[in-house]
Amino acid sequence: MYDILVYLFENYYTPQACPRADVLANKLAAVGFEHDDINDALNWLRTLASTTEHCLPLAISHDTQLHNTRIYTEQEYAVLGTEAIGFISFLENSDSLPPALREILIETAQVADHSPLSLAEIKVLALMVLWSQEAEVDHLIFEELLADDEGRLSH
């Protein structure tokens, strides 16, 4: 699934440039992705769209410039893991991930098929959340999102 999300980021400048789900599934299969991975990625993208639809109106009604302290539940710790939570905090502290997008990231990470998430996996999910909102990201943060666990740039 994560390879497909990176593929979408690399091949579609904006989320609006992506074709409909059925056409996208066919294109991904033609490129060589497995059907189970395609279904997982499309389900994750649906979850992202649904979560975004619910979270962004709340952000408009609150001042998103304030840094709220986020207390994670035991289940969130179990799914995300301390490394992913640390990375989310890093993105927040660098002003790259506003509270509304943080909540979208946490919510969409909950649908992962295993836990805890690796640092590479949370980076891909964070990249996709930012991409889905067409958020401007500092160049150094962008490089960090694309770097693998050893600091090398992936893809």
Asked if residue 54 is part of any domain, the answer here is yes
Q: Looking at residue 84, what is its pLDDT?
A: 95
Asked if residue 71 is part of any domain, the answer here is yes
Find the domain containing 93 and state its range.
2-146
**Spatial contact of 108 and 43, defined as CB atoms under 8 Å apart:** no
Residue with tokens 């074709």: 19
Q: Looking at residue 135, what is its pLDDT?
A: 86
Asked if residue 27 is part of any domain, the answer here is yes
Asked if residue 20 is part of any domain, the answer here is yes
112-121 pLDDT tens trace: 888 899 999 9
Distance CA 101, CA 107 (A): 10
Residues of the chain under the 50 pLDDT cut: 64, 151-153, 155
Asked if residue 25 is part of any domain, the answer here is yes
Q: Looking at residue 115, what is its pLDDT?
A: 87
Asked if residue 153 is part of any domain, the answer here is no
Asked if residue 151 is part of any domain, the answer here is no
Omega of the bond leading into 99 within 30 degrees of 0 (cis): no
- Give the number of domains in the chain: 1
25-37 pLDDT tens trace: 999 999 999 999 9
Q: Looking at residue 67, what is its pLDDT?
A: 56
What's the DSSP call for residue 119?
H
Residues sharing a CB contact under 8 Å with residue 101, sequence separation 6 or more, in sequence order: 129, 130, 133, 135
Q: Looking at residue 107, what is its pLDDT?
A: 92
Asked if residue 152 is part of any domain, the answer here is no
143-153 pLDDT tens trace: 888 886 554 44
